[in-house]
Chains A and B, each alone.
Chain A
Amino acid sequence: MESSPVLTWILAALLGAGVLVSAYNLAGKRAPVTSGVFLVLLAAGLWAVFGLPPALALFAVLGIGTLGCALGIVLHPNPAVSAVYMMGCFTGMAALYLVLGFPFLAMVQILVYSGAIVVLFLFVVMLLDLGRRGEGWSDFRPGLAGPVLAGGLTGTALVAFLVAASSAKGAVKDALDPALLPVKASQAASSVSAGAGFADSLFGKYLLPFEAITFLLLAALVGVILLARPPASGRKEA
C-alpha cells in the first residue's frame, strides 16, 4: 500500500499524538472516547506507516480493542462498569466474526451475548445493588499465585500456538505476508454456500444435538425459576 511520504509522516505524527493523549487520559473520565480515537488512529497508522493491508489493520485494531475491553472486565473494581466492558468485548468479537466471514454468527453473538447475557448481568448487578457500595470493589485476591498461574497458562498457550503455527507450514512470516491474503471470489462464494450448508447441517445431520440443546435451555429455565424463588416460608407472590 504505497502512499505519499507527507501523508505517511502526518499519519505517523497523528499516531504518536494519539498514543500520548491516550496514555495521559487513560485513567481519566474520557477513557472510552480516547481509546476509540486511539484505535482509529492506530488503524490508519498501521495501514499508512507499516503498509499493512486495510483488512489486516482492521483485524489488528479489533483484536486490540477486544483485548482491552477484556482487561477492563477483569481489572475494573465496579461490577457495573465490568458489565459495560463486557458488552464492548463481545461486540468486538462479533465484529471479528464479521471480518472473518461468519456474518450469521456475528449476528447471533450480538443478539445473545451483547443483548441477552450482558443485560442479564447488568440486571443482577442492579438487583443486588452492587454498583454503588464498597462491597466487591477492591476484591482482588492477595498474593501472587493467581497472576502467576494465569500468566503461566497464557504463556504456555502462546508458546504452544506459536510453535504449532511455525512448524505447520512456512512459519509466522508467511502467515503475515499480505500476498497470501488476497480476496478470492471462490472463497467469498464458498462463504455464502457455507451459510446454506450451515443451515442444512444444523437442521439435518445435527438435528438431535440441536433438540438436546433446546431441552438444556428449558431445564436451565425451570432450574433458575426454582433457584431464584424466595424460600417457602417467606413466599408471597412470585
Chain B
Amino acid sequence: MPPAPTSALLVLAGCLFGIGALGFLIRRNLIVMFMSVEVMLNAANLVLLAAARDRGWQVEGQILVIFVIAVAAAEAAVGLGLITALHRLKKSVSADSATDLKG
C-alpha cells in the first residue's frame, strides 16, 4: 500500500511545482502557460495527500484536494474562455499581444 516516504513525495512535488513555474515564466503561449498552472496545482495536491497520509490518514487533506480539483476545473474553463475571446480580438494567443491596458 503506502510505499513512498513522505520526504520523497515532497521532493517530487517540489520538482513538479518548479517545472510548472518554469513553464509559466518562459512560455508566451497562453495555453501552455495555463497547462503549467495546472501542473503547479497538481503539485500542491500531491503535498496535501502526502501530508494527509503522514498524519494518520486525515480526511481533511483529501477533501481539500477535491476542492482544489473543482477550483482547477472552473479555472481552466474560465481561462480557456478568456483565451478564445482574446484570440477573437487579437488573432493571437501570445501573452505579449494583450497590451491594451498599458497606458
Contacts and interface: CB of A to CB of B under 8 A. Distances in A.
* Physical interaction between A and B: yes
Nearest to A174: B5
A149 B81 CA distance: 29
Interface in A31-48: none
- Mostly, the A contact residues are helix
A125 to B, nearest CB: 6
B49 A74 contact: no
Nearest to B82: A227
Contacts of A124: 31, 80, 83-84
Contacts of B28: 136, 139-141
A58 B3 CA distance: 9
Given A70-B19, A191-B1, A121 B34 contact: yes
B4 A59 contact: yes
Given A83-B35, A86-B38, A116-B73, A150 B94 contact: no
Interface in B1-58: 1-12, 14-23, 25-29, 31-32, 34-36, 38-39, 42, 45-46, 49-50, 53, 56-57
Interface of A: 53, 55-56, 58-59, 63, 66-67, 70-71, 73-75, 79, 82-83, 86, 89-90, 93, 96-97, 99-102, 104-105, 108-109, 112-113, 116-117, 120-121, 124-125, 127-128, 130, 135-136, 139-141, 145-147, 149-151, 153-154, 157-158, 161-162, 164-166, 172, 175-176, 180-181, 183, 187-188, 190-191, 194, 197-198, 201-202, 206, 209, 213, 216-217, 219-221, 223-224, 227-228, 230
Given A59-B3, A136-B94, A213-B70, 6 more contacts: A67-B16, A75-B23, A124-B31, A154-B19, A154-B21, A158-B11
24 contacts: A79-B29, A82-B35, A89-B39, A104-B62, A124-B80, A124-B84, A128-B87, A135-B93, A136-B31, A139-B27, A139-B29, A139-B94, A147-B26, A157-B18, A158-B14, A161-B7, A161-B11, A164-B10, A172-B7, A198-B59, A213-B67, A216-B70, A221-B77, A224-B78
